[in-house]
């Protein structure tokens, strides 16, 4: 049964977007403006007005969740009529469907396998082994990221134009050629192939392309600002002479350039399709007036944007709070105090802490565990459960306690020392039979020459290092902090993270630096390890009332009553790397990320920064993010530290062990000084 009044609950621009059915349409949908509602209602209206049958509508999303939500909403309007929406899905699912029908065009059988990331890595490793490529210097994950980037640009191996600034690309291109041929030989595709192959078929065989372009009377695309080159190319190839393509998105929420998204697809839409109608959805149904005013003022500093003015029917609401703290620990304490104040008005589930980098969660986790505030990490792992942190802790545990077999097992071959599973199995057997720990078993087996030569060399090297580290700690040559730094350097663990090209390694290194910061709070190794044991023993269930912690990237599409945005400091946010690599474009994307963070909030936003942070064993003086300077004063409420003379005079004194010299100032602080000179 069709719900005939489905157009009645739309505002004027929403209704216009739904009813405009002739020609290209770009819907600039501000945060919280009801874009999903418009898309689904538009689909329903097309069918209701008999402009097209359900199977003549192509509706594309980025996630299965979004596709399912659209299907449910259309069904709620149209009832059983909506069941024929056979072309509503993600880019990958729709392309897979097309590709299975025309697989022979790219030398595949219709029953081809779609391989996952683990299979991709295994295949790359095999290729590297066969080609004598050292995976310690060129990580399989990094190789795959470059291959994926080429596929996002619409390039088969023979079409790749090498980037002269990237010294690794010339080494990766031959691997790409072999990898792509292997996939064909295995009758397989990776996710990048699903779209790339389909585009190539459409380009080379116009008859196949026309089958689909003639069938799809209407094309609708969600989150268009997140499309990459090959996705945009695929859509353009499918548009027929009527050009009934409707793209919905928000250029101010384009934050995924690091995974290939090209904002110019959105900004230049009206140049590709000359008769484009642009409709702006500017009424926000999520946030208070004050929150929107702050977000709008901030994003207005970006030059590359379509532009819109968000307004709301909501009350003015609370002022956006801006907190300055003396250090990172005080920031975590201050935010937990603020949570305690507002929990009567707002459940934990409706509170989120959004960080720029995942290592920032550590101080909050420590604080919440201490005072008993339950929390969950969305889109990530709790700090002490991250693989690199567990590796570091395992090294420290073994040094502290030689009988810690679990720690021994974790790090004896990490990094690789040619100590394989068969060697470990034999050590375990000796340990069991002789009732000794794994470390002693290893030493005895070396004495008796029971270990194969290659593994023996690696094991001797490892055990010698363990002995050295224990001695250094015993005679107090080093602190427990310096001990971990030595372990990381002398074991080769840190060099692998630094030298091995891997997109995740930067985060791993930041997490390890944060671990070193955490160790500073304890007098010795024993007390720190006890703290870790207690912290990791707390079982964090997903159900129930919990504070939500995640990165700002992970928060896109979500909403909460209260949002905390800590760590707004130069170098951290905007992130140093983003500006160094992408210049002004990078800065604008960081500002869009700030905009996304603020607009997740319904009722409250609390932004904060610290004047000092402990970083890699030293206190560094931080500088407030340039984004804070761009926030409109009249919508802000500042905490008391802003009124302290020592802050105003820039003579803040902190109880620290060392003087702050130029070499321990943050990169952001140094850059700020250059800017004001």
Catalytic residue among 16, 36, 177, 283: 36
Whether residue 567 contacts residue 610, with contact meaning beta carbons closer than 8 Å, is answered with: yes
Angle 472-478-481 from CA coordinates, rounded to 5°: 120
Contacts of 649 (CB under 8 A, 6+ apart): none
d(CA 540, CA 368): 12
Please name which of 366, 384, 385, 386 lies closest in space to residue 375, comparing C-alpha atoms. 366
d(CA 360, CA 212): 48
Annotated active-site residue 35? The verdict is: yes
Annotated active-site residue 253? The verdict is: yes
Tokens standing for residue 667: 């990169």
Q: How far is CA 363 from CA 56, 313, 439, 479, in A?
A: 53, 37, 34, 22
Dihedral angle computed from the Cα positions of residues 558, 561, 567 and 572, in that order, rounded to the nearest 10 degrees: 20
Catalytic residue among 35, 73, 386, 613: 35
**With b meaning 16 or more CB within 10 Å and e meaning fewer, what string describes 495-504?**
ebbeebbbee
d(CA 147, CA 160): 10
d(CA 473, CA 475): 6
Catalytic residue among 14, 90, 253, 360: 253
Does residue 609 come out as left (phi exceeding 0), alpha (psi in the -120 to 50 range) or beta? Answer: beta
Tokens standing for residue 620: 């560094």
Q: How far is CA 445 from CA 192, 417, 441, in A?
A: 49, 17, 6
d(CA 113, CA 400): 48
Tokens standing for residue 537: 């023993």
Catalytic residue among 41, 151, 180, 222: 222
| Matching residue, tokens 């919440």 | 368
Q: Does a cis peptide bond (omega within 30 degrees of 0) precede residue 415?
A: yes
d(CA 334, CA 332): 6
Number of neighbouring beta carbons within 10 Å of residue 86? 13
Sign of the torsion angle spanned by Cα atoms 672, 673, 676, 677? negative
Sign of the torsion angle spanned by Cα atoms 454, 457, 463, 468? negative
d(CA 285, CA 299): 19
Tokens standing for residue 555: 């928060």
Annotated active-site residue 222? The verdict is: yes
Whether residue 556 contacts residue 225, with contact meaning beta carbons closer than 8 Å, is answered with: no
Catalytic residue among 151, 600, 603, 613: 600
Active site residues: 35-36, 222-223, 253, 600
């Amino acid at each position: 049964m069709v719900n005939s009044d489905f157009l009645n609950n739309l505002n004027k621009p929403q209704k216009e977007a739904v009813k405009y059915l002739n020609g290209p349409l770009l819907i600039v949908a501000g945060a919280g403006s009801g874009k999903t509602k418009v898309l689904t209602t538009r689909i329903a209206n097309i069918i209701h007005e008999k402009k097209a049958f359900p199977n003549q509508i192509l509706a594309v999303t980025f996630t299965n969740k979004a596709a399912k939500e659209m299907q449910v909403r259309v069904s709620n309007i149209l009832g059983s009529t909506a069941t024929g929406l056979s072309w509503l899905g993600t880019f990958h699912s729709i392309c897979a469907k097309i590709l299975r029908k025309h697989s022979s065009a790219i030398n595949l059988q219709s029953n081809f396998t779609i391989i996952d990331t683990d299979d991709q890595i295994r295949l790359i490793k095999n290729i590297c082994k066969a080609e004598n490529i050292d995976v310690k210097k060129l990580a399989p994950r990094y190789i795959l990221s470059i291959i994926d980037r080429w596929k996002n640009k619409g390039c088969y191996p023979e079409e790749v134009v090498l980037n002269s600034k990237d010294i690794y690309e010339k080494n990766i291109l031959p691997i790409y050629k072999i990898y792509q041929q292997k996939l064909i030989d295995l009758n397989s595709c990776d996710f990048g192939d699903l779209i790339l192959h389909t585009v190539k078929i459409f380009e080379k065989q116009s008859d196949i392309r026309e089958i689909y372009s003639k069938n799809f009377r209407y094309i609708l695309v969600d989150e268009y600002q997140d499309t990459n080159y090959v996705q945009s190319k695929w859509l353009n190839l499918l548009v027929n002479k009527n050009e009934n393509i409707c793209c919905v998105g928000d250029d101010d929420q384009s934050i995924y350039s690091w995974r290939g998204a090209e904002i110019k697809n959105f900004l230049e839409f009206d140049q590709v399709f000359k008769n484009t109608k642009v409709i702006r959805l500017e009424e926000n149904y999520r946030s208070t007036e004050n929150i929107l005013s702050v977000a709008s003022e901030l994003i207005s500093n970006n030059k590359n944007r379509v532009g819109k003015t968000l307004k709301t029917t909501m009350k003015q609401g609370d002022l956006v709070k801006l907190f300055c703290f003396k250090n990172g620990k005080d920031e975590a304490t201050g935010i937990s105090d603020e949570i305690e104040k507002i929990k009567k008005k707002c459940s934990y589930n409706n509170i989120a802490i959004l960080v720029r980098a995942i290592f920032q969660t550590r101080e909050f986790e420590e604080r919440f565990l201490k005072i008993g505030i339950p929390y969950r990490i969305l889109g990530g792992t709790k700090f002490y459960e991250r693989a690199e942190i567990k590796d570091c802790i395992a090294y420290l545990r073994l040094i502290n306690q030689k009988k810690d077999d679990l720690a021994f097992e974790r790090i004896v071959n990490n990094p690789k020392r040619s100590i394989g599973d068969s060697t470990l199995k034999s050590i375990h057997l000796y340990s069991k039979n002789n009732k000794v720990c794994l470390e002693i078993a290893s030493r005895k087996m070396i004495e008796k020459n029971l270990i194969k030569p290659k593994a023996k060399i690696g094991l001797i090297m490892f055990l010698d290092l363990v002995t050295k580290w224990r001695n250094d700690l015993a005679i107090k040559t080093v602190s427990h902090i310096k001990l971990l730094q030595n372990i990381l350097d002398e074991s080769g663990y840190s060099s692998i993270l630094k030298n091995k090209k891997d997109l995740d390694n930067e985060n791993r290194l930041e997490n390890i630096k944060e671990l070193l910061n955490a160790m500073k709070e304890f007098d010795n190794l024993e007390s720190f390890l006890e703290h870790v044991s207690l912290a990791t023993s707390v079982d964090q269930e997903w159900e129930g009332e919990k504070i939500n912690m995640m990165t700002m990237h992970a928060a896109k599409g979500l909403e909460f009553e209260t949002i905390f945005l800590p760590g707004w400091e130069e170098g951290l946010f905007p992130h140093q790397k983003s500006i160094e690599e992408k210049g002004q474009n990078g800065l604008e994307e960081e500002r869009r990320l700030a905009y996304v963070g603020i607009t997740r909030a319904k009722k409250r936003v609390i932004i904060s920064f610290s004047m000092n942070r402990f970083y890699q064993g030293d206190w560094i003086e931080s500088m407030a993010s340039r984004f804070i300077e761009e926030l409109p004063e009249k919508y802000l409420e500042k905490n008391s530290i802003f009124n302290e003379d020592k802050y105003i005079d820039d003579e803040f004194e902190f109880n620290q062990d060392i003087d702050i010299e130029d070499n321990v100032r943050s990169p952001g602080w140094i850059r700020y000084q250059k800017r004001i000179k």
